[in-house]
Amino acid sequence: MAQSSTSPFFSLEELKQFKSAYETGGLEKVVSLIQRKTNELDSAELNIAVTGETGAGKSTFINTMRGLRKNDKGAAKAGTTETTMEPTRYPHPILPNVYFWDLPGVGTLKFTANKYLEKMKFNKYDFFIIVSDTRLTENYAKLAKEIKQLGKNFYFVRSKIDNDLRAFKLEGVNINKDEELGKIRENSVSNLKQAGIPSPTVFLISNFKVNQFDFPAFKETLANNLDDIKKHVFLLSLQNTTLEIIEKKRKELEKRIWMLATLSGAVGAVPIPGLSFACDIGILITAITDFRTYLGLDDASLQRLAIMAGKPVEVLKAEVKTPLLGEISVEFVKRMLVGSAVVAISVAEAVLNFIPVIGSIFGAGSSFLMTKHLLNDALNELTENAQRVVKAAFGTD
């Protein structure tokens, strides 16, 4: 579960260190602690294990979670026969420290559940996803119990739900969709209870309908069961398929801004013509470039989303109306800073409740506040563009 603190990414103990660090070592020591945390965010790994029966759609599921289709570069190999006999790692296309691991199905190897975990080196994975397109078998119930005993989270996914519903239609049978989904869910839960899982939750999904059935709730559940840093990484890895995902990303990126502003305010050394302070231009360029990638506005992300939504990529690109998608050069950022300098910023904006010492370090005209203001404006502008793209892609109101 997410750690409890009044500041994102920092434990209560780390927050206490800020005041002590400032009192004993000044701003330089505080900056060192913040830099260490930003490095931790950038290098954090997330390893997600996916297992299931042959033909259950686990490779397609891995591709869908990464916003890919089977013919895309780097896609997991999908098929109706078991092609995986060793754990196979698939990195995320824009967050290379997020890995999905395709594990062999339990039934394909002559191991008991506990031996399977040993063979698959379970300790490297943050959690397990167990995929089935029919009834969840006793093998996977046993595997889930072993995972639980070892202190790892696991999630049951019942895939190809759209095929189940389509079968009724092809046979000319009229059904109540919600009632039928309820029956499938009840049957899956009942099977798991009989196999010894006391309170199982089963997510009903289609790998090709990412905004339908339980897929949105499934992603939210995964995020909510991760600690702050890994939750941050996981949310940024999600493809922009809903407005809710974009808003969650905005909130996550907003958490970084005060840290980046502190670094810029403390180590800024590039004089800006017309302004009375120096600012670290490199921090601003990197942040804006990262923001637009995380928000799915780079060319590769727009192309993947267009394929997922079945829309021409030009339709999506037409919704992007911001100069922030052009080259983010030193001169471009300087012009942004000069434009922002006329905005009145009060000293109160520098008071950060979770780190009181920061408010006493920087004044109203500091590069800290200007950087914070500029990055907030850039993030909001990019978020609005990402929202328009998703509305065009999926017809979301």
Q: Which of 218, 234, 250 is the last residue of a domain?
A: 234
Both 206 and 246 in a single domain?
Answer: no
- Confidence grade of residue 31 (pLDDT, cut at 50, 70, 90): confident
* Three-state DSSP state, 321: coil
Output the pLDDT for position 12: 74
Both 260 and 192 in a single domain?
Answer: no
pLDDT tens figures, 33-56: 888 889 999 999 999 999 987 788
- Does any domain span residue 143? yes
Output the pLDDT for position 358: 56
* Three-state DSSP state, 55: coil
8 Å CB contact between 305 and 353: no
Output the pLDDT for position 273: 52
List 278's β-bridge partners, or say none: 271
Q: Which of 195, 213, 234 is the last residue of a domain?
A: 234
- Confidence grade of residue 345 (pLDDT, cut at 50, 70, 90): very low
Tokens of residue 386, six digits: 């990402």
CA distances from 236 to 230, 247, 311 (A): 10, 11, 23
Print burial letters for 302-327: b (CB count within 10 Å at least 16), e (below 16).
Answer: bebbbebbebeeeebbebbeeebbee
Both 225 and 247 in a single domain?
Answer: no
Of residues 6 and 208, the one with the higher pLDDT is 208
Both 189 and 204 in a single domain?
Answer: yes
Output the pLDDT for position 5: 42
Output the pLDDT for position 280: 80
* Three-state DSSP state, 32: helix
Angle at 362 between CA 359 and CA 366, to 5 degrees: 140
Output the pLDDT for position 6: 45
| Least confident residue range of 140-149, 151-160, 277-286, 371-380 | 277-286
Of residues 285 and 83, the one with the higher pLDDT is 285
Domain ranges, residue 171: 46-234
Both 282 and 367 in a single domain?
Answer: yes
- Confidence grade of residue 357 (pLDDT, cut at 50, 70, 90): low
Both 268 and 390 in a single domain?
Answer: yes
Both 170 and 70 in a single domain?
Answer: yes
- Does any domain span residue 40? no
On the question of pLDDT at 227 being above 60, the answer is yes
8 Å CB contact between 232 and 255: yes
Both 150 and 293 in a single domain?
Answer: no
- Does any domain span residue 351? yes
Print burial letters for 91-130: b (CB count within 10 Å at least 16), e (below 16).
Answer: ebbbbeebbbbbbbbbeeeebebbebbeebebeebbbbbb
The values of phi and psi at residue 75, to 5°, are -70, 150
Instruction: Say how many domains are in the chain.
Output: 2
- Confidence grade of residue 111 (pLDDT, cut at 50, 70, 90): low
Both 154 and 226 in a single domain?
Answer: yes
Amino acid at 349: E
- Confidence grade of residue 191 (pLDDT, cut at 50, 70, 90): confident
8 Å CB contact between 265 and 367: yes
On the question of pLDDT at 352 being above 70, the answer is no
Tokens of residue 65, six digits: 């979670």
- Does any domain span residue 116? yes
Q: Which of 234, 250, 267 is the last residue of a domain?
A: 234
- Does any domain span residue 10? no
* H/E run at residue 278: strand 278-279
Mean pLDDT of the chain: 84
Phi-psi region of 155 (alpha: psi -120 to 50; beta: other; left: phi over 0): beta
- Confidence grade of residue 362 (pLDDT, cut at 50, 70, 90): low
Both 123 and 217 in a single domain?
Answer: yes
Both 225 and 100 in a single domain?
Answer: yes
Phi-psi region of 195 (alpha: psi -120 to 50; beta: other; left: phi over 0): alpha
Average pLDDT over residues 68-94: 83
Provide the whole-model pTM: 0.87
- Does any domain span residue 300? yes
- Confidence grade of residue 79 (pLDDT, cut at 50, 70, 90): low
On the question of pLDDT at 110 being above 90, the answer is no
d(Cα 228, Cα 245) in Å, to the nearest integer? Answer: 16
Both 55 and 188 in a single domain?
Answer: yes
Q: What's the CATH number where 110 sits? A: 3.40.50.300
Number of H helices, E strands in the chain: 15, 8
Average pLDDT over residues 183-187: 91
Q: Residue 165: which of 212, 216, 200 has the closest Cα?
A: 212
- Confidence grade of residue 259 (pLDDT, cut at 50, 70, 90): confident
Output the pLDDT for position 341: 53
Percentage of the chain beyond pLDDT 70 is: 84
